[in-house]
Homo-oligomer: A and B are copies of this chain.
Amino acid sequence: MTRFRFAPLVAALPASVPFTGPETLERRAGRPFRARLGANENGFGPSPRAVAAMQRAAVEVWKYGDPDSHDLRHALAAHHGVAPENVMVGEGIDGLLGLLVRLTVAPGEAVVTSDGAYPTFNYHVAGFGGRLVKVPYRDDAEDPGALAGAARDQNARLVYLANPDNPMGSWHTAGRIEALLDDLPAASLLVLDEAYAEFAPEEAIPRIDPEDARVIRLRTFSKAYAMAGARVGYAIGPAELIASFDRIRNHFGMNRISQIGAVAALEDADWLAHVRAEVAASRDRLAGIAQSNGLTALPSATNFVALDTHCDGAFAGALLQTLARQGIFARMPGVAPMDRCIRVSCGPEPDMAAFAEALPRALKALS
């Protein structure tokens, strides 16, 4: 029995948590992980220029951050060749997804995604009473044709697609994404989650007119820029849609230190190139470790690799638990048949070496 009367939308929600954080797992285990490879964080670290800018900004943290994120929005607009009015900055892609669902989805309206795609998007859709319609992955990738079909069948308000995809690391070409836009019904807005875009081959990133009313793109400083803890994401889309965030967002929600750090990170193209090269090498390293142990690395356009165990979800889950007992934090896709894989983030060599040492021991323990 409850002592509180919640709003009906909230009363219908489970007390669920999208992800259990690694710190919680560490507290349960009573010791820290040796290698933190489960959240697709970027252990190659942020630009030293961004770190220095954040350290300088710390003494001025008594000031609120600029509620317009003016400097960062203008820097992002210049970086992407769009107008500042096409850019909204928010507290990570997660925060922007919540706002976008609230802006566009009325209770009971349909939203289409893939079964096994990003759970936090589903969390926000459920949170605002949207009706989730899921289509299956095809060949370990999200299926644009199935997404468009479901969008037409359901007259969906939003259609979610991550390109490159999380959790599989797969990607579609720019042409395939553009064709998806043409296949969507007029009522649908494509939510194109490009959190991993900076790791992807150039041909995976479509050129989209920012005023194209059929799509909003989401980017982040959490992955390639290695600033997950700073909570900086941004959306690129039509000025009218971007402006509508001002009706509901937490205007003073953007951290001052993070805004300043993100501007500095964006300016440091050399560091981004360095990180990309390190990630590419780390993907190869993970593939080698997998191969040495009878697993297969799936092709990845991200800073993680899905490693196919050639078994099933029960086995992959047991493997993750066994790895965790050896101090390796990794995760796995939530839905069959992708859950035959474990998902391991790229990282510096000490992390790779720890994984290389732990994996054969874990596999042996399970055999």
Q: Which A residues fall within an 8 A CB radius of B?
A: 2-10, 13-19, 21, 23-24, 27, 36, 39, 41-46, 51, 54-55, 57-68, 70, 91-92, 94-95, 98, 102-106, 109, 120, 127-128, 157, 187, 189, 213, 222, 226-231, 238, 240-241, 243-244, 246-248, 250-258, 261
B6 near A244 (CB under 8 angstroms)? Answer: yes
Partner of A229, one of B7, B92, B241, B257: B257
B6 near A252 (CB under 8 angstroms)? Answer: no
Nearest-neighbour CB distance to chain B for A199, whole angstroms, equals 15
B66 near A46 (CB under 8 angstroms)? Answer: no
A-B contact pairs, 22 of them (CB 8 A): A5-B157, A7-B106, A16-B247, A17-B251, A19-B251, A21-B64, A23-B70, A36-B63, A42-B62, A43-B62, A46-B59, A46-B62, A54-B58, A55-B58, A61-B227, A61-B229, A91-B253, A92-B250, A95-B250, A98-B250, A229-B256, A255-B258
A4 near B58 (CB under 8 angstroms)? Answer: no
For A240, the chain B residues whose CB sits under 8 A away are: 2-4
Nearest-neighbour CB distance to chain B for A112, whole angstroms, equals 16
Cα A152 to Cα B30 with chains together (Å): 50
A10 near B103 (CB under 8 angstroms)? Answer: yes
Query: Given that A10-B247, A187-B5 are known contacts, is A252 also in contact with B64, CB under 8 Å in the complex?
Result: no
Query: Given that A58-B51, A59-B51 are known contacts, is A248 also in contact with B70, CB under 8 Å in the complex?
Result: no
For A70, the chain B residues whose CB sits under 8 A away are: 23-24, 27
For A253, the chain B residues whose CB sits under 8 A away are: 91-92, 94-95, 231
Copy count, this protein chain? 2
Partner of A8, one of B55, B67, B106: B106
Nearest-neighbour CB distance to chain B for A265, whole angstroms, equals 10
Partner of A228, one of B55, B64, B95, B109: B64
Cα A57 to Cα B127 with chains together (Å): 32
Partner of A105, one of B7, B54, B189: B7
Identify the 4 closest CB pairs spanning chains A and B, nearest first.
A229-B256, A62-B226, A23-B66, A61-B229
Cα A45 to Cα B21 with chains together (Å): 32
Name the CB-closest residue of B to A256: B229
For A62, the chain B residues whose CB sits under 8 A away are: 41-46, 226-229
A247 near B127 (CB under 8 angstroms)? Answer: yes
For A57, the chain B residues whose CB sits under 8 A away are: 229
Nearest-neighbour CB distance to chain B for A262, whole angstroms, equals 11
Nearest-neighbour CB distance to chain B for A293, whole angstroms, equals 27
A230 near B251 (CB under 8 angstroms)? Answer: no
B230 near A4 (CB under 8 angstroms)? Answer: no
Query: Given that A27-B70, A59-B45, A229-B65 are known contacts, is A7 also in contact with B103, CB under 8 Å in the complex?
Result: yes
Name the CB-closest residue of B to A61: B229
5 more contacts with CB within 8 A, not counting A17-B251, A41-B62, A54-B257, are: A6-B103, A10-B248, A61-B230, A120-B252, A229-B257
Nearest-neighbour CB distance to chain B for A11, whole angstroms, equals 9
